[in-house]
Structure 1
Amino acid sequence: MMATRAQSRPERAEPGRSGEQARDFEFTSADFARIRELIHRSAGISLSDHKRDMAYSRLARRLRARGLDSFRQYLDMLEADNDPAEWEAFTNALTTNLTAFFREAHHFPILADFVARRPAPVSVWCSAASTGEEPYSIAMTLIEALGDQAARQATVLATDIDTQVLAKGEAGTYQFDQVKHLSPERLKRFFLKGTGAHAGMVKVRPEVRAMIRFEQLNLTDRDYRLNTQFDAIFCRNVMIYFDKPTQGQVLSRFEPLVKPGGLLFAGHSENFTYVTQAFRLRGQTVYELTRDAGAATAAGRAAQRATSGVPA
């Protein structure tokens, strides 16, 4: 979040934090505890102790932007005003958006082989889309696996809690340095090269962009309002920010959204084996919806259709 710098203030060191650089604002343990409680309540994120300096540096920008003198003032305002825009800025400031094209590359051949054997149309949900590199990598994989014609029927839902990074993903424009590790074949097939004022930039080709729908979604919401099922869900390197109860809640919401036999792709440091029995580990941080879970999900959907008068 770009913020307008307020008038300068004398720098103040926080009491009791020896060896720390002087800061513009006092930042107490109570302030950090309150931030941790608020971000967990609003986004399910568990901030560890070592994130204290990160929280200060990112939220200090919000204090300057609002012309406030203390974290206590800012947090009081956040709760009292209940301003959706400021809550969004608060959440955006505390989320981490490390991503790259074809990051954790071993997942994409698995996805390609999987979707090639699935009935059309194929759909994939990228639940932590960040600035778009991951959903675009998924779309490119679908094109390579299914061919240009069949891939036109395929869809990728790209969601994230952070609206700023979603806007960057929707734009589909990147520095060349972000794609230079890709093969010449992929660069030519999936990107347009910038010229003139846009030299050094690339843009995702329209046919790739057309496969993706970008939407804001908070994984800790009780109802995702998604009226579809997916062949695969990518939820990589986001669960590590949730505590175990929150992980279990998110996975239980994923369960009815995965088609029978569908896959869940996790991050390299994430393990859901002890969190849920609905997904079994297939290997290489890829999980498969179990038959029992799939049958229960199908039965639940059939019952829902029956009670609503919709034919099965």
Structure 2
Amino acid sequence: MPRLYGFEDMAYRRVRESEAEGIRAAASRRLLKQPYPAITEWMNAEGYRTTRGGLWKPDVLANVLDHPAIAGLEEDENRNLVETGGPAIIPREDFEAIRAMRPVHDPDKQRAPQREYLIPGLMGTCGLCTTSLGSSPSNRGSRGYRCAPSTAQHPGGCGKVRINADLLETYVAEHVLAELAKPDVSALIGQARDELLAQAALLRKEAAAARRRQKKLGVDYGRSPDMSLKAFRAADKELTQLIRESETKARLLEQVKHVPVGDIPDLVRWWKHAPMRAKKGVLVLMLEKVAVYPAASRGSRTVDADRVALHWRQWGAEAEELSA
């Protein structure tokens, strides 16, 4: 894990002034709404180099100016900016102003809305190899789910499963709504939702704790001559994986907050007009996994229990596992 440009150490306590002046200059230009390509061109011409000694690229500089540490800040587990007591290379107000200029905050630069898919990535899996299904439109443009073949960048997929999204989503929705219509199930919806949100909160805390351990690991590596680079990288990789897995699962479970609680007289009508985030929340609440298998014959549009296996969530089981 390379050090952050502008700092001598991984704890962001000692400023490297020769680099800090470059950050201040870049920040000043960005506050004047100069585009990143122009800023990096200027920095390279002035002789500024990255921590690895390379030329600056727009995305690399954008990441540096988006790092809270350059303003003596960090993000807590709720993504709020809090002061660390560390040195600030640029003022907080300048940092927040630069953050506000990110494309996500600019209505004119936001991406065009993408076609929505109902089944979340972690939930849809290939029945043959268990790899998560990805969204993949067909050659004709219709929405679809697919197990992508294994590549060097994305290893693991078998590439043998593809299914039309409309057919799969209709099948899943029919079975979920039928289950929700059962009185003994609908009576527990509120309790189950709170249970999953509590699990998500625990996962967020787990990820935050891992981030703190990762930060301490960087400090220890910088101070201790006994820790080898190999050992540091192995521990850092393990913590990164833990953080990624915890936050990914937390984001999945947090979707249940959009599930309505209370009596819904006509579930089918509600589903037809419900926003996608509420539908996804219902799926997360009810299902752990949707496993899809190959079609019986090429071009088959039949979707049944032989093609799709629904794994229903056992409320209470995951909470016990997390608290164990």
TM-score, normalisation: structure 2: 0.22
Asked which structure has the greater CA Rg, the reply is 2
**Higher strand share goes to which structure?**
1
TM-score, normalisation: structure 1: 0.22
